[in-house]
Amino acid sequence: MDLSTSIGPQFQEATKYGRGRPVPQAPGWASPPPPYKQYESYLDRVELPQAETVAGPGLWATIAGRRSQRRFSGRPLALTELSQLLWAIQGVTGEVPGFELRAAASAGALYPNETYVVAQAVDDLAQGVYHYDVRGHALGLLADGDYSADAAQACLGQTWMANAGAVFVWGAVVARCAWKYQNRAYRYLYLDAGHLGAHLQLAAQALGLGSCNVAAFFDDEVARLVGIDGRTEVPVYVTAVGHPD
């Protein structure tokens, strides 16, 4: 299959940095959009338990034990476990002038990816689709009800996902990165999502949970599931987490 004239190689070539080629700069009039997504209101707001930030399993053993898990028991996650997972991917871990730093790395500390959770089986949390409020370490309910079948079908009908305790979806707010990096920003949206997926898998392993990162999904269906437009904010990655079977 010849890919040389397709959009992928063309994008890669067009967004290269190289000596002798000018590096695109943010226009002088440009200013960054807000670093956090805010909703006028949620259907409900759930404050999460404080996450642990010390101790825990050893890093090397956690890395060695990490595997993709596609068989889940259906046993609910604890709300404390969900809280720990969310902190491990996007929790605020420090501050420098002008930035609140988060657990996973991001190009330019711009953090374009918003986290959504399809809660399928979590103790003390109603089923539904939630948005993670990073600064408040809380979940905002966007849609209530059982969306486990919808999530699985949106991910190319991978029915095993319906048995996970929670499905995480990342939506990239394009302008949050593109105002500075222009077309090359699209590389960073996916790189940043990869950091989040890796952190989530390691955190799940540390908690004795199983997880699987998923890039095979119907983009428009995933966008509708979490209530984003698929243009200014695009779905880039999905991860299912639950108790292994």
The pTM of the full predicted model, rounded to 2 decimals, is 0.95
| Domain annotation covers residue 182 | yes
Task: Output the domain CATH number for residue 136.
Answer: 3.40.109.10
| Domain annotation covers residue 107 | yes
Q: Residue 1 — pLDDT band, cuts 50, 70, 90? A: low
- Distance, in Å, from the CA atom of 31 to the CA atom of 99, rounded to the nearest integer, reads 14
Tens-place pLDDT, residues 120-179: 999 999 999 999 999 999 999 999 999 999 999 999 999 999 999 999 999 999 999 999
Do the beta carbons of residue 189 and residue 47 sit within 8 Å?
A: no
Domain that holds residue 204: 44-50+57-242
Please report, in angstroms and rounded to a whole number, the separation of the first and last CA atoms in the chain.
39
Q: Please state the domain count of the chain.
A: 1
| Domain annotation covers residue 37 | no
pLDDT at 30 over 90: no
| Domain annotation covers residue 12 | no
| Domain annotation covers residue 29 | no
| Residue 39: predicted pLDDT | 96
